[in-house]
Amino acid sequence: MISTPRRLVALASAIGAIAVAGPVTGAYAAGTTTPPPAFTFPTFTFPTYTLPAYTLPTYNFPPLTLPTVPANGWPSITLAPGLTFIPPAVGPIAVHIGAIIIDGQQISPGVNVSTPGTNPPPTAGP
């Protein structure tokens, strides 16, 4: 046995199907035997557009050359005749990082990194 709510839903569905199908069959019942025209999508004619011809310019750049670094690590500098360039001396550099401690436990020890000072040679002009 079907419960009352289910019977009401079935009845409402049947009435809805009859209500939708009724006007279509009713139109034919009025004496018209010609079916309605089939639906077709409208056609659109889009204008044609051609892009103008474009060419990229070409440039005759010389090939890229990178400066070479001599074996001693210092690049060469060309100075005007009679001039001398004395680069500044750089003293030692030191970095001290303390130990990392989390919740009372040492996670990593401290680090001390240092480099000696450097004094590049002077460069004289030709």
Concatenated DSSP letters of 43-108? P--PPP--PPP-------PPPP-PPP--TTS-------TT-EE-PPPB--EEEEEPPEEETTEEEE
**Confidence bin at 94 (pLDDT 50/70/90):** very high
pLDDT at residue 72, rounded to an integer: 67
Q: Which of 100, 73, 97, 98 is nearest to 87 (CA)?
A: 73
Judge whether 70 lies within some domain.
no
Any domain includes 68:
no
**Residue 102 covered by a domain:** yes
User: Is residue 12 one of the residues assigned to a domain?
Assistant: no
The mean pLDDT of 38-45, rounded to a whole number, is 80
Q: With respect to residue 6, please indicate whether it lies within any of the assigned structural domains.
A: no
Q: How many domains does the structure of the chain reveal?
A: 1
How much is the pTM? Answer: 0.28
- The DSSP secondary-structure symbol of 123 reads E
Share of the chain above pLDDT 70, in %: 70
Instruction: Examine residue 89 and state whether it is found in any structural domain, yes or no.
Output: yes
Q: Evaluate if residue 106 carries a pLDDT over 70.
A: yes
Q: Which domain holds residue 98?
A: 84-117
